[in-house]
Structure 1
Amino acid sequence: MQLTAYTKEFGTNLSIAYPVMLGQLGHVLVGLADNIMVGQLGAAPLAAVSLGNTLVFVALSLGIGFSFAITPLIAEADGAGNIEEGKSYFHHGVIMCTLNGIFLFLLLLLAKPVLYYLDQPPEVVELAIPYLEIVAFSMIPLMIFQAYKQFADGLSQTKYAMYATIIANLVNVLFNYLLIYGVWIFPRLELQGAALGTLISRFFMLWFLWEILRRKKKFRQYFQWSRKEFLKPVIFKRLFSLGFPTALQMLFEVAIFTATVILAGMLGTNPQAANQVALNLASMTFMIAVGLGVTATIRVGNQKGLADFKALRRIAFSNFLLVFIIEAIFAVAFILLKDWLPTFYIDNAEVILLASQLLIVAALFQLSDGLQVVILGALRGLQDVKIPTVICFIAYWIIGFPISWYFGKAENMGSMGIWMGLLAGLTASALMLYLRFNYLSKKFLKQADA
């Protein structure tokens, strides 16, 4: 097949992906703003945000993973023109995500004592606990928002969640500034101020998306709720069968990055702060790939609903090629700007030097990280989640983590060794997931031709 068969899909892919990219980048830019504002308070507060978010990110991965089950089901129903089925998945998805938000909030409160047993600097743990308590409550509005977002994504209407996210991020930055430093009539709350800014913005984000969706004609019939359709076990079972493995996939990946925070903390406060800087920069480029991963889920799900598996493969591979090109550009940028980018976060020579070294490794795993998330998205569109979950576990925890643990010791390679494990795990994941998608999509194609 000629290259143009793939490149001609780039426009459609980007038109769906760019709102997701901007929305996800908005989240990361708020993280960047948080880190820059908190970084002005010193290395220990910056490390405390990193440590507190280790547990939050684990919980977040579980909740978002479950919500991802909504998108392929809505996309398939939309492709088949079955509105009633799509409406049922949407309503049950909202209930599931609300319960998940409450569960994750309680889980984070119960998990607070774990921070004392991770061999972290005591001053960092003391700062992290009150920050975590406030951010934990924001899981409830965030998970309900995810249900509405994934529903709209499934209908290829990705721009509304972007609007909600961008405006909410501005709200977050404003309240961070007011509450961290105690500007105007507001008290100086430092880290707790950053947490309150996050909480306020997430409630605003949920309200804004709900308000805008319910007013749009395209969504109106989906917002007609009736008691007779509620609590159908078969619908919850379908959502769970897709959501639970997807949650595990995200958990395995987020947990390996969380492990780098803990391993870096064992090296000291400055290595942990440098790790946070490099992770935040790497996560920005990852969010571009997330947008294309969502696009792959939507478009592959649509083609599955239409049973057009030849177009399905072409569209999927166009997304793989597009993310490869984009991430290659970011990889070059990281190498060229490695000494300059960390200076935006903190004025500490040792932290800046360590972070610049980590960005070299981050540049190398851009390609693998981008490819694996987009291929996972395509597999999710095929509603294939169980085998990819096993692949993610093997890649990150059988291959990646042992390398990070061994080479990340101070007497070996230190922080660089930790990130070499990330590089190995992400590369193994991308390769195995590609082989899985190639095999499965060819199998569907042969069955359709038979």
Structure 2
Amino acid sequence: MQLSAYTKEFSKNLNIAYPVMLGQLGHVLVGLVDNLMIGRLGAAPLAAVSLGNSLVFIALSLGIGFSFAITPLIAEADGSGDLETGRSYFHHGIILCALNGIFLFLALLVAKPVLYYMDQPPEVVELAIPYLEIVAFSMIPLMIFQAFKQFADGLSQTRYAMYATILSNVVNVVFNYLLIYGIWIFPRLELQGAAIGTLISRFFMLWFVWEILRRKDKFAAYFVWSKKEHLNSGVFKRLLSLGFPTALQMLFEVAIFTATVFLAGTLGTNPQAANQIALNLASMTFMIAVGLGVTATIRVGNQKGLKHFKDLRRIAFSTFLLVFLIEAVFAVGFILLKDLLPGFYIDNTEVILLAAQLLIVAALFQLSDGLQVVILGALRGLQDVKIPTLICFIAYWIIGFPVSYFYGKADMLGSMGIWLGLLAGLTASALMLYLRFNYLSKKLVLNQENK
């Protein structure tokens, strides 16, 4: 097949993806704003945010993973023109995400004492606990927002969640500035101020997306709750059968990145602060790939509903090629700007030098990280989640983590060794997931041709 068969899909892929990219970047920018403002308070507060968010990110990966089940089911129902089924998935998805948000909030509160047993600097833990308590409560509005977002994504209407996320970031920046430093009539709360800013912004985000979606004609039929409508255990089981493995996939990946926070913490406060800077920068480029991963889920799900399996393969491979090209640009950017970017976060020569070294490794794993998340999105569109979950576990925890643990010790390669483990795990994941998608999509085409 000619290259143009894939490149001609780039514009449509980007049209669906760019609002998701900006929306996902919005989530990361909440952390970026916190890091930039708190970094001015010193290395210990910055490390505390990193430590507190390490548990939050684990919870977030589980919650978002569950919500991702909504998108392929809505996309398939939309592709086959089945409004009633799509509406049922939407309503049940909202309920499931709300319950999930409450559960994650309580789980984070229960998990707080874990920080005391992770061999972290004591002053960092003492600062992290109050921050974590407040941010944990924001999981409730955030998870409900995710239900609305994934529903709209499934209908290829990705821009509304983007609007909500961008505006919520404005709210976050304003309240962070007022509450971290004690501007005007507001008290100086430092880390707790950053957490309150995040909480306020997430409630605003939920209110905005609900308000804008319910007023649009495209979504009106989905917001009708019939008096005869009952909760259906079969629909919940369908959502959970897709959502639970997807949550585990995200957990396995986020957990290995979180493990780098704990491993870096054993090396000291400055290595942990440098690790946080490099992670924050890498996560921003990763969100570009997440946008294309959602696009792959939507477009593959649509083609699955239409039973156009040859087009399904071509469209999926177009997203793989596109993310490879984009991530290659980011990789070059990280290498060229490695000495400049950390300086925006903190004025500490040792931290800046360590972060610059980590950005070299981050540049190397841009390609495999981007590919693996987009291929996972395509597999999600096929509603294939169980084997990819096993692949993720093997890649990150059987291959990647042992490398990080062994080479990340102070007497080995230190922080660089930790990140080499990430590189190994992400590369293994991308390769195995590609083989899985290629096998399944070929099988669909062959079965259709043999009928």
TM range (shorter): over 0.9
Aligned to 1:73: 73
Give me the whole-angstrom Cα distance separating, in 1, the residues matched to 2:291 and 2:382.
17
AA at the equivalent of 1:93: G
Give me the whole-angstrom Cα distance separating, in 2, the residues matched to 1:436 and 1:79.
24
Q: Aligned pair 1:258/2:258, yes or no?
A: yes
Paired residue secondary structure (1:185): coil
Q: Is the 8 A contact 1:30 1:169 kept in 2?
A: yes
Give me the whole-angstrom Cα distance separating, in 2, the residues matched to 1:412 and 1:309.
49
Give me the whole-angstrom Cα distance separating, in 2, the residues matched to 1:424 and 1:230.
48
Aligned to 2:212: 212
AA at the equivalent of 1:158: T
AA at the equivalent of 2:52: G
Aligned to 2:279: 279
Give me the whole-angstrom Cα distance separating, in 2, the residues matched to 1:391 and 1:116.
32
The Cα of 1:229 is off from its aligned counterpart by: 2.6
Aligned to 2:17: 17
Aligned to 2:230: 230
Aligned to 2:198: 198
* 1:162-191 deviation digits (Å, cap 9, x = unpaired): 000000011001100000000001000000
* 1:46-73 deviation digits (Å, cap 9, x = unpaired): 0000000011000000000000000000
Give me the whole-angstrom Cα distance separating, in 1, the residues matched to 2:101 and 2:228.
24
The Cα of 1:27 is off from its aligned counterpart by: 1.7
Aligned to 2:393: 393
Aligned to 2:305: 305
Q: What's the TM-score, normalizing by structure 1?
A: 1.00
After superposition, residues 52-131 of structure 1 pair within 5 angstroms as 52-131=52-131
Q: Is the 8 A contact 1:92 1:230 kept in 2?
A: no
Give me the whole-angstrom Cα distance separating, in 1, the residues matched to 2:130 and 2:227.
40
Aligned to 1:160: 160
Paired residue secondary structure (1:267): coil
Aligned to 2:186: 186
Structure 2 stretches lacking a partner, 5+ long: none
AA at the equivalent of 1:282: A
The Cα of 1:25 is off from its aligned counterpart by: 1.1
Q: Aligned pair 1:436/2:436, yes or no?
A: yes
Paired residue secondary structure (1:383): coil
AA at the equivalent of 1:269: T
The Cα of 1:228 is off from its aligned counterpart by: 3.1
Structure 1 stretches lacking a partner, 5+ long: none
Paired residue secondary structure (1:412): coil
The Cα of 1:231 is off from its aligned counterpart by: 1.6
Give me the whole-angstrom Cα distance separating, in 2, the residues matched to 1:447 and 1:338.
49
* 1:132-179 deviation digits (Å, cap 9, x = unpaired): 000000000000000000000000000000000000011001100000
Aligned to 1:333: 333
* 1:271-306 deviation digits (Å, cap 9, x = unpaired): 000000000000010000000000000000000000
* 1:229-267 deviation digits (Å, cap 9, x = unpaired): 332010000000000000000000000000000000000
The Cα of 1:448 is off from its aligned counterpart by: 1.2
Give me the whole-angstrom Cα distance separating, in 2, the residues matched to 1:323 and 1:94.
30
RMSD in angstroms over aligned alpha carbons? 0.5
AA at the equivalent of 1:320: F
AA at the equivalent of 1:437: F
Paired residue secondary structure (2:266): helix
Identity %: 84
Q: Is the 8 A contact 1:138 1:198 kept in 2?
A: yes
Aligned to 1:407: 407
Aligned to 2:42: 42
The Cα of 1:227 is off from its aligned counterpart by: 4.2
Q: What's the TM-score, normalizing by structure 2?
A: 0.99
Q: How many equivalent residue pairs?
A: 450
Aligned to 2:358: 358
Give me the whole-angstrom Cα distance separating, in 1, the residues matched to 2:370 and 2:189.
37
Give me the whole-angstrom Cα distance separating, in 1, the residues matched to 2:135 and 2:422.
27
Paired residue secondary structure (2:264): helix
Q: Aligned pair 1:316/2:306, yes or no?
A: no
Give me the whole-angstrom Cα distance separating, in 2, the residues matched to 1:25 and 1:253.
18
Give me the whole-angstrom Cα distance separating, in 2, the residues matched to 1:324 and 1:36.
29
Aligned to 1:246: 246
Q: Is the 8 A contact 1:395 1:429 kept in 2?
A: yes
AA at the equivalent of 1:85: T
* 1:4-57 deviation digits (Å, cap 9, x = unpaired): 000000000000000000111122222111101000000000000000001100
Structure 1 residue ranges, 4+ long, deviating more than 3 angstroms after superposition = none
The structure-2 alpha-carbon separation of the partners of 1:246 and 1:55, relative to structure 1 and needing over 3 Å to count, comes to same
Aligned to 2:371: 371
Aligned to 1:30: 30
Give me the whole-angstrom Cα distance separating, in 2, the residues matched to 1:227 and 1:435.
47
AA at the equivalent of 1:428: A
Paired residue secondary structure (1:225): coil
Give me the whole-angstrom Cα distance separating, in 1, the residues matched to 2:391 and 2:286.
20
AA at the equivalent of 1:258: T
Answer with 229-238 or 77-86: which moved more: 229-238
Give me the whole-angstrom Cα distance separating, in 2, the residues matched to 1:445 and 1:233.
33
Give me the whole-angstrom Cα distance separating, in 1, the residues matched to 2:272 and 2:444.
46
AA at the equivalent of 1:387: I
